[in-house]
Chain A
Amino acid sequence: MTWTSPLELVRDALRGQRARDKDLRSLVSNLPYEGLEKGKQPNRYFPGNAIKTTKYSLLLFIPVNLFEQFHRLANIYFVGLAILNFIPVVNAFQPEVALIPICVIMSLTALKDAWEDFRRYQSDRKLNNMPCFIYSRREKQYMGRHWKDVQVGDFVKVFCNEIIPADLLLLHTSDTNSVCLVEMSNLDGETNLKQRRAMSGLCNTDPEFEPESFNSIVVCEKPNNNLNHFKCFVEKPDKEKVGAGIESLLLRGCTVRNTDHAVGFVVFAGHETKSMLNNNGPRYKRSKLERKLNIDVIFCVILLFAMCLVGAVGHYSWLQALPGVPPYLVPDSSGHLNSPSLSGFYMFFTMIILLQVLIPISLYLSIELVKIGQIFFINNDVDMYDPDTNSRVQCKSLNITEDLGQIEYIFSDKTGTLTENKMVYRRCSVMGTEYPHKDNAIRLAVLEGEETEEDVIFDQKPQPTKTTRSLDGSLEGNNFVDTRQHHRGRRRRKLSRSASTDVAFSSELETEVVPDRMLLQQLSRAQSSSGSGMIDPYLDFFLALTICNTVVVSMATAQRQRPAAASDNLSYEAESPDEAALVHAAKAYGFILLARTPDSVTVRLPSGKELVFELLATLTFDSTRKRMSVLVRHPITKEYVLYTKGADYAIMELLGTPYAERLSGNQKNIAADTQHHLDCYAKEGLRTLCFTKKVVSEKLYESWSVNRQRALAAIENREELVMDSAVELETNLSLLGATGIEDRLQESVPDTIVALREAGIQVWVLTGDKTETAVNIGYACRLLEEEDLVINMSCKNKLLCTSLLDCTLEEVRRYSADPRNVDTTPDISLVIDGRTLTMALESDLRDRFLELAKCCRSVLCCRVTPLQKSRVVKVVREKLKVMTLAVGDGANDVNMIQAADVGVGISGQEGMQAVMASDFSISHFKHLRKLLLVHGHWCYTRLANMIIYFFYKNVAYVNLLFWYQFFCGFSGTAMIDYWLMIFFNLFFTSLPPIMFGIMDKDVSAEVLLGVPELYRTGQGAGEYKFSTFWVSMLDAFYQSLVCFFIPYLAYKDSDIDVFTFGTPLNTISLFTILLHLSIEIKAWTWVHWVVMLGSVAMYFIVTLAYSGICITCNPPSNPYWILQSQMADPMFYLLCIITTVVALLPRYMFHVLRNSIAPSPLLQARQLDRMDPCAREQWIKEWRSFRGSRGVKCSRFSTPSSSNLESPVDIYPQSPTVSDMGDEFTLNVLTDSCERTLHT
């Protein structure tokens, strides 16, 4: 050990801090320094891989935890009071005793914290001790070590199915293509395999990979939590820089799949890894109710001060009025009496101590407990469990359950939220000709139909290859299905319910396409005519379908370590479901994607020939360009070909020369025809994609690729440079065709939307889709109704936008002024596109837009970017001061989810980013209905009532002491034993309100779902209004007056002593407070009975035991035998009975009269609850039809158990634009009639 000066240590620490804070980090291999002391290690400044997520250490637990707890204002208040009690001139109780409440609460909290921390410690230790292999120079091999031993700069070897211990820059893999497949579901939830590519040329790899030969410097960015971006370059000894991105980074927490082993260089370790930086734990939001509650707590403080002031002034005037020095006035330490004014001043503080319980400190703890209980019930709801993905509702935010009951605006994503995001190829248009794929449509319609008919139709399927797999049910087939079932996410419950054939069908739904006969003919004609040249638009179209994507091909069985199966068991791992659908479609036409490596794509043509395309570049999709391209070299023609696919508006403006000049003439209007088809697709609700081809000259390619390399190696502005280089190439495209992909509506989406709307919630759908597509889906999911007044706002410039807005507003006002539209939501819907939205949200138009939006029943925003989504949410939330909920499933919804009061993530096909950013995660949109209408309502009413009751309880109890002050010269005497007072709050009356907050059920789930209007009771101010608070405060004052003065009058002029007087008061108070709760409890289960009767029993047992044992303890109360003697006195019982009755009579009467004269909707609903289910349903129906035509239209009262399987096909025929497409486009009518025939 060498001695280092403290100065040196400080300097070293500072240097370390600087090294960590620098924007770029330079890392070198640790191997040359192996065995040296720590001070000589080059990477010593960067943290090791051991993680510590615990907050406390064993030694420092108490001080650190105390420090944490004192951050809470309430605790400081409590301790301040306890300290105040130690000052002799002001103390009200025994000083030591006054510490008990704070000690109990703080030790309970500390216990909870300690337990949580211990759990974290255990999981940390487990993680830190996971095994891994680190290269050691001394041993010349990989040594088994633990995760915690990994350091930045080490070389770590990971094997198949192992979890990666730190963020590794991939240097070598066992794969010949230097590819390593990883599963990142731990991180982002996406279950498809991701391909990572090793950086080459940095080490000797022949014949063995030698880490020791690594002598470059890795320069990388500062650690950040972005899972999809990583910027780094490696500087070789010869100063050559090689860029690397996320595609070469193995992230901690991922699992290596399909790759025997891989070696990586540790760039980030421990807490600096991306997975750890993403791991923020549960978030804490403050709910609306809690914000209101804090205001009421402030009112309580004011009330407390007022009461203390009364006490102080009262004491002063009482002393002032005394003619002499009475024997009962005790002089203080100096032997003489304080002046009345000083005594009054001291009395103020004594009163604060005496009446401290007025501020409900235990309320915060109780609320936390109640929310834990509420979350337990939400989590355990079997109706919101999805058996396909085996997932329940998850509550990520622990403290906003009650906000679910107050939602006024819902902002929903479309794709993946309303729709399944399960893409089904429907039709295509090639070179201006439409191919409607009727057979395919029939097949899809049948799959939706009854199970019995499925087999029949399936046998008739023209493609024999598919029947073998789906019907024979062989082991491989089952395994295949099984894997995919587990792997690819949810399946329609209906289809996967029982037999294995159903499971097979469900995968068929997406993957199998019945080719269009016309197109097949066209294709075979093209093949024969083009010969080996392969220059034909049809062939190119399918090649584009096959190649232009990032789909990874894996042997379906290999991936989960099953023995290899038949060779055509290809499984496509696509990042977006569209791509998979297209590849499957191409496969149906014989263009089979066989393999994809970083450098090549192998395609089998219908002729059986396999072509290997050299893959030169992949210009990945981004939301600005809205397109992606691949640049390949054709193996036969040796041409450089760029295939681009993208949104029609992103492609159409880039079109250059029409396809292949020799096909000129009548083909000139391909673009126009295709655009027409695209519009029709969109109106039908299909997602459209355009495909183009471009032949790039060799010269152009070479100059471009240089630029491209430079862009890729850049660290500054890399994204922009890479995008610019992509844009540079994507010009002058020739249109090949377009596809229409159907994204099916999720189960019960229309029902859910109708129910939410009836619940008084405005539903906004924000989508990136085209207006036509969005409107169509809007009709399909009943966001828009046919008789609605749909306002379509789309304008190019601000001026137009302003005048349009004014006009519409005027019209809407006139419309809603019409006496016929008295309902709260007029039937006006607004459709607005992204560009107009941007203008409308500018500060000068914002108010007008919001006013318009307020009048609208639903709003559909199309073509909006993620940022716009969150902006809309923010503007609505802040300007209209409403409770908002955002629901979405993809990464593009994250902003919106975070901006809303409540964010709901749908764990769907698009990964888990949305879920991770959300407060609640569900697996289907339809679950939102129960989550809001039932759980939201329950949580809100429960908590609101519990809080009001809590305030009432404390005031009612503490006021007893206050009234007594008028009879003891305002001297701060408590007539109730202090221990019993503590027990009163801690044991006798603490459990019932908590149970009330967790378990009370005002209306049953069935009725809440059947009558969504009940939800409106929670919106806006809801049940927790200021008036409610003050009414309960007044009631508390009244009750405390009764509880005090009836015994007072009864015992007046008698020989009663202080604590004998206090005992009946305490008992009466207990009965009053508990019976008050009994009036409020709506449904009594056995739990309620046990808790309520248990509380009373506990009171008597504890008090009897206490006053039976305690002879000299706790002066001055001296409770010995007091309750016993009281209980032997009939007066005690007579007092208890009459006082309780008088105290509760007004509230009881109020409830009875209100229930009889003007029953609230909730009460009527409760009456429904008491009917038997049949009568109830009948009644709801009648009630709804009475409410007018709108009610009839949506009179579907399915209880959640009777699942509502409305097939999407049924909904489509309403689309109003079907007819204008001519005979070819009568698809929906056709399916409809087809289904009808099948059923009959």
Chain B
Amino acid sequence: MVKEVKELVNRPDNTAYTQQRLPAWQPMLSAGIVIPGFVSIGLVFIGIGVALFVTSQSIQVLEIDYTGVEQSSPCFKCSDQTGKKCDCVMNFDIDSLFKGPVFFYYGLSNYFQNQRKYSVSIDYNQLTGDLDYFTNPDDACFPFQNDRNKPIVPCGAIANSMFNDTFQLFQLVNGQKKEVPLDGKGIAWWTDYNTKYRNPSVTPLRNAFNGTVKPPSWPQAAYELDTKDTSNNGFINQDFLVWMRTAALPDFRKLYRRITEGDYASGLPAGNYSLQIAYNYPVLSFDGRKKVVFSNVSWMGGKNEFLGIAYLVIGSLCVLMSIVMLIVYAKFKFPEED
């Protein structure tokens, strides 16, 4: 008996795991099995595609390019000006009701906010209102870190290059200009406004900026971004927040305002409109284009036909494939059926 025990010392455990005999599911990819799968996937995709496509079709978009490169453009006079204040007016018509809520975007093209050195040129600690970083901004902000030995607040290239065109929208009612109220609240991410960006807890706000200078290309300091509304001033200015969230692609739009109030809560009625533009931002240095975009949104965001079409194409492809499979299935016998 002792011998028996001794002999078993080295014996491997005879378990399913060590003997690699674990029960396993062995899927076999063959035509017969995938046909129903493909048909169902195809049908589901076509369904989703139709829904997406219809939704996308229902979205109205109005784009107005105001770069002013063409001589015919009302903004042509402003396009070659640099730094100087220049106003121009674009007129446009809306044929039918532009359903609300209407989102008012400004768009830039050929603008590489995703440039690596540009996109790292920011000091998040400064933007949380940490006063230590006011006097000593992060090196990443260089060369917009210090201006003549005074720290720049907010530092960095992103902040410095903030978009500063402003717009006013008027409806021409009987030759009268009726201003369309624009809602500038809630255009930035909720988390940006409430968590990520904080003003220093100093009142008045301007005292926190003592000893600092504004970014070189800014006309006014950060604490003067919205002097009327303290909850929209400084680092938590919504336009600033929108700008600071760098765009992923070189052609982008950013939310400027929403039209949600007054007579326009249900949308822009048909009629003539006039957009008054304070043209400040130079784009010729990079062959850029500027535009404003009016759009309404659906549950899937802005207008985007691609996804709907993609679903439709892939869905049909799947169905087609299952037909091919059926032919294959009929033509080649399967070993299991032999």
Show the binding face of A for B, using Cβ within 8 Å: 92, 322-333, 335, 350, 377, 379-382, 385, 387, 390-392, 482, 485-486, 938, 967-969, 971-973, 975, 999, 1001, 1005, 1046, 1048-1058, 1060-1062, 1079, 1082-1088, 1111-1112, 1115-1116, 1118, 1120-1121, 1125, 1129-1131, 1134-1135, 1138, 1141-1142, 1145, 1148-1149, 1151-1153, 1155-1157, 1159, 1163-1164, 1166-1167, 1169-1170
In the complex, are the beta carbons of B115 and A973 less than 8 A apart? yes
Nearest CB to that of A1084 among chain B residues?
B25
What are 5 A-B pairs with beta-carbon distances under 8 A? A327-B282, A1049-B306, A1052-B251, A1084-B26, A1153-B328
Contact A1156 B31 (CB under 8 A): yes
Q: Could you tell me the distance in whole angstroms from the C-beta of B255 to the nearest C-beta in chain A?
A: 6
Provide the residues of chain A in CB contact with B336, threshold 8 Å. 1167, 1170
The CA-CA distance from A960 to B41 in the complex, in Å, is 26
Q: Check A1061/B248 contact, CB under 8 A, given A972-B116, A1130-B300, A1138-B314.
A: yes
For B310, list chain A residues within 8 Å (CB): 1046, 1049-1050, 1138, 1142
Task: List residues of chain B with CB within 8 A of the CB of A392.
Answer: 10-12
Shortest distance in angstroms between B149's beta carbon and chain A's nearest beta carbon?
A: 15
Note all chain B residues with C-beta closer than 8 A to A377. 18, 20
Q: Is the CB of B334 within 8 A of A1156?
A: yes
- Cβ of B249 and Cβ of A1084 under 8 Å apart? no
Q: Is B132 an interface residue (CB 8 A)?
A: no
Residue numbers in A under 8 Å from B28 (CB-CB): 1155, 1163, 1166-1167, 1170
Check B191 against A1054 for contact (C-beta < 8 Å).
no
B202 contacts A by Cβ under 8 Å: no
Across the interface, which residues of B come within 8 angstroms of A323, CB to CB?
284-287
Chain B residues closer than 8 Å to A1163, beta-carbon distance: 28
B292 to chain A, nearest CB (A): 13
List A contacts of B120 (CB < 8 A): 1115-1116
CB <8 Å contact, B143 and A1086 = no
Expressed in whole angstroms, the Cα–Cα distance for A385 and B9 within the complex equals: 11
B318 to chain A, nearest CB (A): 8
Residue in A326, A482, A1061, A1157 whose CB lies within 8 Å of B332: A1157
Question: Given the interface contacts A1115-B124, A1155-B30, A1159-B335, does A1054 sit within 8 Å of B301 by beta carbon?
Answer: yes
Tell me if B24 counts as interface (CB < 8 A to partner A): yes
A967 touches B196 (CB 8 A): no
**Complex Cα spacing A164 to B70, Å:** 100
Query: What B residues does A999 contact at CB under 8 A?
Result: 20
Identify B143's interface contact among A335, A1058, A1149, CB under 8 A. A335
In the assembled complex, B233 has its CB within 8 A of some CB on chain A: no
> Given A327-B217, A385-B12, A971–B112 Cβ distance below 8 Å?
yes
Q: Which residues of B contact A969 (CB under 8 A)?
A: 112, 114-115, 250
**A326 pairs with B254, CB closer than 8 A:** no
Identify which of B140, B189, B249 contacts A967 (C-beta below 8 A). B249
Q: Are B249 and A1048 in contact (CB under 8 A)?
A: yes
- Does B119 lie within 8 Å of A1130, measured CB to CB? no
Is B30 within 8 A of A1152, CB to CB? Answer: yes
Could you tell me the distance between the alpha carbons of A971 and B282 in the complex, rounded to whole angstroms?
A: 22
Residue B208 CB within 8 A of the other chain: no
Within 8 A of A (CB), among B72-121: 105, 107, 111-121
Q: Which residues of B contact A1050 (CB under 8 A)?
A: 304, 306-307, 310
Contact of B114 among A331, A968, A1054, A1112 (CB under 8 A): A968
Contact status of A1055 and B195, CB under 8 A, knowing A323-B286, A1084-B26, A1134-B300:
no
Q: Which residues of B contact A1121 (CB under 8 A)?
A: 189, 191, 195
Interface string of B120-141 (1 = CB under 8 A from A): 1111110010000000001010
19 further A-B pairs in the complex, CB-CB below 8 A; given A1055-B254, A1145-B314, A1155-B31: A328-B118, A330-B121, A350-B116, A380-B13, A382-B19, A385-B12, A967-B114, A972-B116, A973-B114, A1054-B301, A1055-B255, A1083-B26, A1111-B124, A1111-B196, A1115-B122, A1121-B191, A1155-B29, A1156-B30, A1156-B31
In the assembled complex, the Cα of A1112 lies from the Cα of B161 at a distance in Å of: 21
Q: Which residues of B contact A1111 (CB under 8 A)?
A: 124, 128, 195-196
- Asked if A1057 contacts B245 (CB within 8 A), the reply is yes
* Chain B 201-217 per-residue mask, 1 if CB under 8 angstroms from chain A, else 0: 00000000000000001
Nearest opposing residue in chain A for B191, CB measure: A1121
**Chain B: minimal CB distance from A562 (Å):** 14
What's the Cα separation between A1153 and B242 when bound, in Å?
Answer: 50
Enumerate chain B residues within 8 angstroms of A335, measured Cβ to Cβ: 143
CA distance A1048 to B336 in the complex (A): 44
Q: Which B residues touch A485, using CB under 8 A?
A: 3
Residues in B neighbouring A391, C-beta threshold 8 A: 10
Given A385-B12, A1056-B248: A975 touches B114 (CB 8 Å cut-off): yes
| Mask: chain B, 278-300; 1 = CB below 8 Å from A; 0 = not | 00001011111000000000011
Binding site for A on B (CB under 8 A): 3, 6-14, 18-20, 22-32, 34, 41, 45, 48, 52, 105, 107, 111-125, 128, 138, 140, 142-143, 157, 160-161, 189, 191, 195-196, 217, 242, 245-255, 282, 284-288, 299-302, 304, 306-307, 310-311, 314, 317, 321, 325, 328-329, 332, 334-336
Q: Closest chain A residue to B22 by CB distance? A: A1085
**Is B30 a contact of A380 with CB atoms below 8 Å?**
no
Are B115 and A1112 in touch, CB under 8 angstroms? Answer: no
Asked if A1079 contacts B29 (CB within 8 A), the reply is yes
Cα distance A334–B14 in the bound complex, in angstroms = 71
Given the complex of chains A and B, what is the CA–CA distance between A588 and B29 in angstroms?
68
Is A387 a contact partner of B7 (Cβ separation < 8 A)? yes
Complex: A380 Cα to B300 Cα, angstroms: 55
Contact A1056 B12 (CB under 8 A): no
Task: Tell whether, in the assembled complex, residue A1051 and residue B249 are in contact, meaning their CB atoms are under 8 Å apart.
Answer: yes
Q: How far is the CB of A462 from chain B (nearest CB, A)?
A: 32
Given A335-B143, A973-B119, A382 and B11 contact (CB-CB distance below 8 Å): yes
Contact A1115 B140 (CB under 8 A): yes
Residues of B within 8 A of A1166 (CB): 26, 28
Min C-beta distance of B188 to chain A, whole Å:
11
CA distance A1112 to B192 in the complex (A): 11
Q: Which residue of B lies closest to A486 (CB)?
A: B3
- Which of B29, B249, B285 is A1148 in contact with, Cβ under 8 Å? B29
> Which chain A residue has the least Cβ–Cβ distance from B113?
A328
Contacts of B111 in A (CB 8 A): 326, 328
User: How many whole Å from A1178's CB to the nearest CB in chain B?
Assistant: 12
B302 to chain A, nearest CB (A): 6
A1134–B195 alpha-carbon span in the complex (Å): 29
CB distance from B179 to the nearest CB of A (A): 25
Residues in A neighbouring B138, C-beta threshold 8 A:
1115
Shortest Cβ gap from B326 to chain A (Å): 11
B157 CB to nearest chain A CB (Å): 5
| Contact partners of A325 in chain B: CB under 8 A | 285
Chain B residues positioned under 8 Å from A1169 (CB to CB) = 26
Q: Which residue of A lies closest to B34 (CB)?
A: A1152
- Assuming the A-B contacts A327-B161, A1111-B128, A1167-B335, are A381 and B19 also in contact, with contact meaning beta carbons closer than 8 angstroms in the complex? yes
How long is the Cα–Cα vector from A780 to B138 in the complex, in angstroms? 84
B284: chain A residues within 8 A (beta carbon): 323-324
Please tell me if the beta carbons of A92 and B116 are within 8 angstroms of each other in the complex: yes
Specify which of B117, B196, B328 is in contact with A971 (CB 8 Å cutoff).
B117
CA distance A1159 to B338 in the complex (A): 14
**A329-B118 contact given A1054-B302, A1056-B249, CB 8 Å threshold:** yes
- Of chain A, the residue at the smallest CB distance from B255 is A1055
Residues of B contacting A1134 in the complex (Cβ-Cβ under 8 angstroms) = 48, 52, 300, 307, 311
- A380 and B12 in contact, given A1052-B251, A1130-B300 (Cβ under 8 angstroms): yes
In the complex, what's the smallest C-beta–C-beta distance from A1125 to chain B, in angstroms? 7
Query: Which residues from chain A contact B114 at a C-beta distance below 8 Å?
Result: 967-969, 971, 973, 975, 1058
Residues from chain A with a CB closer than 8 A to the CB of B285 are 322-327
B304 touches A1057 (CB 8 A): no
CA distance A1148 to B118 in the complex (A): 42
- The answer to whether A331 touches B191 (Cβ under 8 A) is no
Q: How far is the CA of A387 from the CA of B10 in the complex (A)?
A: 9
